[in-house]
Structure 1
Amino acid sequence: MYLVAVSANMLILVAVWVNKHLHTPMYFFLTNLSFLDICYISSHLPNSLKEVFSERKVISFAGCAAEMYIALALGETQCLLLAVMACDRYVAICHPLNYVTIMNRPLCMKMAISTWISGFVLSVVHVAFTLTLPFCGRNRINHVACEIEAVLRLACTDIHLNEMVIFAVGVVILIIPLSFVLFTYVHIIAAILKISSSRGRHKAFSTCTSHLMVVTMFYGTCMVMYMTPRSLVSEDKHKIISMFYGALIPMLNPLIYTLRNNDVKEALRKTIRVNIGSPNK
């Protein structure tokens, strides 16, 4: 899963980079998502794979803190980036004549940079509230990675405040962006239904359904993980859910976007043909 995720996302980055007709706001944000997926899955999965084959499965406090912060920051960045991608689709479909003017390069850069900065800043709140807790006992993390929920279970004090902070940040990172995405798609679907050309409707629906599939999977699993009371989700289920959004979704994202997007598929074919044919040239 790790190799497929990294390879598939790298292919998208290369295909968009070498095919100039894909240098549009939509594919700019898609490459951001691909790069984010590579970083996200690499922030925790290689270490988890290493621990599988290690007799002493030990991680230092600093290493655990770093892994927790980076993974959390990248996950929160992805939540915000998916909302920005919905905004891009809204402008492209609801205001097509002004799309290039509105979604200009400086604005796209500012929007992308803002999602990255916001994700890394907001995750400081989570990690700071967690690492200041007193830990005692064996400090054995019942998880495949330093997931914040698993680390909190080791605290020797009341974690009610921490859970409230997680819920509050979850509202900012999950509920508000998801509400924005749903709001934009109500207008997007209404605009698509007004398109007279069946080919145009099909192309618009294709790009939008790909994005909606990614949004549903990622937001859904994150909400179950971070906004559901601990009594309703067991530790074993937490591990399964975290592997779903931490490993499976980064692998599925490039497949969802490429299988439903003829422009990306054609760009990938050209890129592969060029790379294979270059030694003969």
Structure 2
Amino acid sequence: MENQRNVSEFIFMGLSSDQKIQMFCFVFFLFCYVAILVGNLLILVSIRCSVLFHQPMYYLLNHLSSMDICYTSCVTPKLISDLLLGRRTISYGNCMLQVFTMHFFGIIEVFVLTVMAFDRCVAICKPLHYMIIMNKARCDLLIVAAWAGGAIHAFSQFSMIVSLPFCGPNEIDHYYCDIFPLLKVACTDTYITGVLVAANSGMVALVTFVLLFGSYVIILFTLRNHSAEGRCKALSTCGSHITVVILFFGPSIFAYLRPPTTFPEDKIFSLFYTIIAPMFNPLIYTLRNTEMKKAMRRVWHQKIFSEEKHN
């Protein structure tokens, strides 16, 4: 632990050293973060204030929106402030905290997406037994399991990183404290640690992706026996999920399921699962969901109408 205290802060190399690119990134990421906050808060309020909250699909969507806000808030505000102020440092303690929270909320989001795919699979393949299988107790249990899985994963990753000595170089070729860039500046041989990280994060991402892909194969196979209208509705919902899965899991698998090394492209791929995919979640789950759009119109119309009446 004494060696670790020799490095009190880390310096991010960031996305670019060009001033114009930095200003463009500041405006773009600020827009993305505001869109994430506004979109997910609209979903949270709309679901909470409507009867949809008692339906399993929207109960899970409520948790996904919460995780989107928590997950992106681990990185994006710091990135935006660094771009605005031209400051690229982070203390050792905050860096370790960022590692933990990113993996904690990130894995919870992964598991919630998996539960949502299971929910759609049950709804389409077992419609008559849907409310029995996806009852409130089971939904609560699945969410608790997602949080427990996130905690186990995050503590295992955090324990490997926090035990490493950092006594020399402190420049990280990234815009946040990711594990592989940190391994690169540690003052010890980190090959075994890197393999363990890849086995943990990489395999979680890959296994989850395979499970999700398998659930959609089952859904598509089952849809052959549905009416044309039922197929269109189910495919629309599944299409939304598949879009989120590709945006989130594709870059994640590339980033973690490989030998412990870093590439310049890592920062670009990281943008997809830290900012871009969470930004599209509210759009995908609202604009392509008729029930959600109706609920949002009903809730916000009532709120505006009641406020005008009160005034």
Normalising by structure 1, we get a TM-score of 0.94
- Determine the structure 2 residue equivalent to 1:189: 220
Measure, in 1, the Cα distance between the counterparts of 2:84 and 2:308: 42
Q: What whole-Å deviation, never above 9, does each CA across 1:72-96 have from its counterpart, x for those lacking one? A: 1111112222111111111111000
- Determine the structure 1 residue equivalent to 2:100: 69
Task: Note if 1:217 corresponds to 2:247.
Answer: yes
- Determine the structure 2 residue equivalent to 1:158: 189
Is the CA contact (8 Å cut-off) linking 2:104 and 2:151 kept in structure 1? yes
Measure, in 2, the Cα distance between the counterparts of 1:55 and 1:186: 47
**SS across alignment from 1:137:** coil
Is the CA contact (8 Å cut-off) linking 1:44 and 1:67 kept in structure 2? yes
**SS across alignment from 2:43:** helix
Is the CA contact (8 Å cut-off) linking 2:124 and 2:222 kept in structure 1? yes
Change (3 A) 1:188 1:156: same
Measure, in 1, the Cα distance between the counterparts of 2:288 and 2:62: 16
Structure 1 residue 56: Cα displacement:
4.5
Give 5+ residue unaligned stretches, structure 2: 1-31
Q: What whole-Å deviation, never above 9, does each CA across 1:144-187 have from its counterpart, x for those lacking one? A: 11112221111122211112111211354212222211222221
- Determine the structure 1 residue equivalent to 2:15: none
Structure 1 residue 21: Cα displacement:
3.9
Structure 1 residue 22: Cα displacement:
4.9
Structure 1 residue 51: Cα displacement:
1.9
Q: How does 1:48-127 map to 2 (within 5 A)?
A: 48-127=79-158
2:290 equivalent among 240, 243, 262: 262
- Determine the structure 2 residue equivalent to 1:13: 44
Measure, in 2, the Cα distance between the counterparts of 1:86 and 1:21: 18
Structure 1 residue 194: Cα displacement:
0.7
Structure 1 letter corresponding to 2:154: S
Normalising by structure 2, we get a TM-score of 0.85
Is the CA contact (8 Å cut-off) linking 2:180 and 2:260 kept in structure 1? no
**SS across alignment from 2:85:** coil
Structure 1 residue 276: Cα displacement:
2.3
Is the CA contact (8 Å cut-off) linking 1:73 and 1:122 kept in structure 2? yes
Change (3 A) 1:97 1:144: same
**SS across alignment from 2:265:** helix
2:176 equivalent among 145, 151, 163: 145
- Determine the structure 2 residue equivalent to 1:249: 277
Structure 1 residue 272: Cα displacement:
2.5
Q: How much is the aligned-residue C-alpha RMSD, in angstroms? A: 1.6
Structure 2 letter corresponding to 1:134: P
Structure 1 residue 192: Cα displacement:
1.1
**SS across alignment from 1:134:** coil
- Determine the structure 1 residue equivalent to 2:238: 208
Measure, in 2, the Cα distance between the counterparts of 1:230 and 1:182: 26
Q: How does 1:265-280 map to 2 (within 5 A)?
A: 265-280=293-308
Measure, in 2, the Cα distance between the counterparts of 1:193 and 1:56: 56
- Determine the structure 2 residue equivalent to 1:177: 208
Alignment size in residue pairs? 278
**SS across alignment from 1:156:** coil
Give 5+ residue unaligned stretches, structure 1: none
Structure 1 residue 279: Cα displacement:
2.0
Measure, in 2, the Cα distance between the counterparts of 1:256 and 1:208: 11
> Which stretch has the larger CA shift, 30-39 or 182-191?
182-191
Structure 1 residue 19: Cα displacement:
1.4
